[in-house]
Structure 1
Amino acid sequence: MVFKLVSATPSPFARINRIAMLEKGIPFELQTEIPWHKSETVTPKYNPLEKLPILFDTDDSTFEPVYDSAHIQEYIVQKFASQGPKLLTGDLDLDLKARQIQVLAEGVMDAGVLEFFELARPEGSRSKEWAERQARKVDGGFRAFDQMVKDRKGEWLVGDGKVMTIADIAVVCAVGFLDFQGARKEWKGKYPELVKWFEGVDERESFRGTRPVMFDIQVKSVI
């Protein structure tokens, strides 16, 4: 297999998968795209939803592209279960919890993206109610992440805290994205324990090397 991951440089969704593949030592090529640039993107060719990230095998024409960050993460965890780290605990209930935390983290990412694009509309076209709804989701997520950090029993979030899981990856990517976006400048003052945990994990090599980078959007993505 010769994997290629189609990604956008600021994407926290692709970052989740990049970290998992780096941790497991899975070789892959990163192809950076802006899916709104219709003439320059292969995104619609591999994902009918025209969303990133997308994982495919450049060496196998019969390989069906894998898309949606959570599904790609499940693919990585299941197909490469024999390669450490496993990124799950092996306990059904704990692993279901890890997946639930990943769902929460991706929901926070979604809300952050939706809030950003809503506020990017011309002032007269914005929906204050819609933006506030997304903001509540983000703020609720931060409160939940902070409580998880306070309740953890070890270094990591799930179980006895001895094993890094997909939950830890997802939470760091969500918090890192909102911090990068600059939409919650006050979060470090409100959640010092979350800050300490986040900054510690984010210095791990696979996290440090995948931090979001802004790209230049040359077309309108909202109307």
Structure 2
Amino acid sequence: MKLIGTTSSPYVRKVRIVMAEKKLDYQFEIDNVWAADAAASPASPLGKVPRLQIEGHESPLFDSRVIVEYLDTLSPVGKLLPPSGRERADVKTWEALADGLLDAGVLARLEATWPGRSEGERSQAWIDRQMGKVDASLQAMAKALGDKPFCCGIHMSLADIATGCALGWLEFRFPELSWRDDHPNLARLADKLAQRPSFKDTLPA
């Protein structure tokens, strides 16, 4: 398998961590979709990463949620998703919340930094709206986590990987945010996950 992405993308990091936890072998190919000469292609119609190219299949898988769900079926090692029912839905809801936080954060950062906009074209109101979603997501995460050791109980799951990637990206791109002070239970979870080799080996850069 070949994973196509960047080392700074939290969505790509989520897939890389799942690969590591599942002990799956793959090649990692860098593709900066924000480069000036980058363009959509048949292999990447949305112009996004990650993409997973599977030997024997012409079309890659894309969207991190699709990819990690597929990867969890490839090996019984370290199952990250419950097979069905409410437990599975709870894990996927955590993943959706973490990815939604990232979506909002990415939109805010692009509005503030994308070179395709001039200073006069940037909207602080839009940035504030997106950062409001980030704050609301952090509050929802902290409330749902409570005093549990992991997002969905006593074992690590995809919920924790997605959440850890979201929190790590916030530290990487928005170091000025005080989420650690505001939500110490999320900080404890992030610190615990950061000790795992899969997280250590995939730090954003």
TM over 0.5: yes
Q: Letter of the 1:51 partner, please give it.
A: K
Corresponding residue of 2:71: 76
Q: Distance in 1 between matches of 2:140 and 2:176?
A: 15
- Aligned: 1:102 with 2:95: yes
Q: Aligned ranges for residues 24-63 of structure 1 at < 5 Å?
A: 24-37=22-35, 39=37, 44-57=41-54, 59-60=55-56, 62-63=57-58
User: Any idea what the Cα deviations from partners look like across 1:152-197, whole Å, max 9, x if unmatched?
Assistant: 2xx3211xx2321111100000011011102543122212221112
RMSD: 1.8
Query: Where does structure 1 differ by over 4 angstroms across 4 or more consecutive aligned residues?
Result: none
Q: Letter of the 1:84 partner, please give it.
A: V
Corresponding residue of 1:197: 189
Q: Letter of the 2:41 partner, please give it.
A: P
Q: Distance in 2 between matches of 1:185 and 1:37?
A: 27
User: Any idea what the Cα deviations from partners look like across 1:68-109, whole Å, max 9, x if unmatched?
Assistant: 11111111123x1x4211102345101101001101110111
Q: State the TM-score, normalized to the length of structure 2.
A: 0.91
Q: Distance in 2 between matches of 1:151 and 1:212?
A: 28
- SS of residue matched to 1:207: helix
Taking every aligned residue pair, what percent have the same amino acid on both sides? Answer: 34
| Structure 2 residues not aligned, in runs of 5+ | none
* Contact 2:147-2:185 within 8 A present in 1 as well: no
Corresponding residue of 1:216: none
Q: Distance in 2 between matches of 1:9 and 1:207?
A: 12
Q: Distance in 2 between matches of 1:163 and 1:63?
A: 36
Q: Distance in 2 between matches of 1:44 and 1:208?
A: 32
- SS of residue matched to 2:52: strand
Query: Paired residue for 1:164, among 156, 160, 163?
Result: 156
Aligned residues: 202
Query: Paired residue for 2:2, among 1, 4, 24?
Result: 4
Corresponding residue of 2:136: 140
Q: Report which stretch shifted further, 105-114 or 183-192.
A: 183-192
Query: Paired residue for 2:61, among 61, 66, 74?
Result: 66
- SS of residue matched to 1:44: coil
Q: Distance in 1 between matches of 2:36 and 2:42?
A: 11
| Structure 1 residues not aligned, in runs of 5+ | 214-223
User: Any idea what the Cα deviations from partners look like across 1:108-162, whole Å, max 9, x if unmatched?
Assistant: 111111000111243321112211110111001111122233152xx3211xx23
Q: Distance in 1 between matches of 2:44 and 2:133?
A: 27
- Aligned: 1:125 with 2:132: no
- SS of residue matched to 2:146: helix
- SS of residue matched to 1:46: coil
Q: State the TM-score, normalized to the length of structure 1.
A: 0.84
Post-superposition shift, 1:210?
Answer: 0.7
Corresponding residue of 1:15: 13
Query: Paired residue for 1:89, among 76, 82, 95?
Result: 82
